[in-house]
Structures are given as C-alpha cells and as structure tokens.
Amino acid sequence: MLCGNPGFRHCVRAMSPANDAIEEARRAGFDVDLLDTNLALSPAERWRQHDTALEFVLELEHARIARDAKLQPAPATAR
C-alpha cells in the first residue's frame, strides 16, 4: 500500500488517477521529467530563466522589425 497501512485502500485509489494522468501525459509526448526538473528550481531561478528567455524573444522581435523596415514594398501589378 502507498499509505503504509494496508487498511487504507482509499490511499491507493487517491494516488492512482494522478499516476494515470502522468502516464497518459508521457504517452502523449509531454516531457514530464522536464516539468519535474523545472519544479525542482526555486521560484527565483524560474523567474530568472523566464526573464532571460523573454529578453531573447524581444531582441528577436526588434531585429525582425528593423529588418522589415528596410524592405521595399513590391511594385503594384496591373490587373
């Protein structure tokens, strides 16, 4: 028994849906180990990683906007 007491069968049933959901997520392709790894980090470390990723995405967005501003519009074609 998961509870350590064979008389508490409801403990196994209470844990089973969660375990089933985790296994179903794995079969669907979710990286449950990555979730566990991230949850092992402190909230401050998760925020730092988030801020770093956000900064990178914003840099890419600014680079795209700068590139697009240099493009010349295609000439209008006669219909």
CA 23, 26, 30, 32: dihedral to nearest 10 degrees?
Answer: 70
Domain total in the chain: 2
- Give the three-state DSSP class for 2: coil
Residue 77 lies in a domain: no
The answer on 26 and 45 residing in a single domain is: no
pTM of this prediction? 0.55
What tens digit of pLDDT does each residue of 6-54 get?
A: 555 555 445 578 889 999 999 999 999 999 999 999 999 999 999 999 9
**Which range of residues forms the domain containing residue 51?**
41-71
DSSP string, 25-74: HHHTT--HHHHHHHHHS-HHHHHHHHHHHHHHHHHHHHHHHHHHHHPPPP
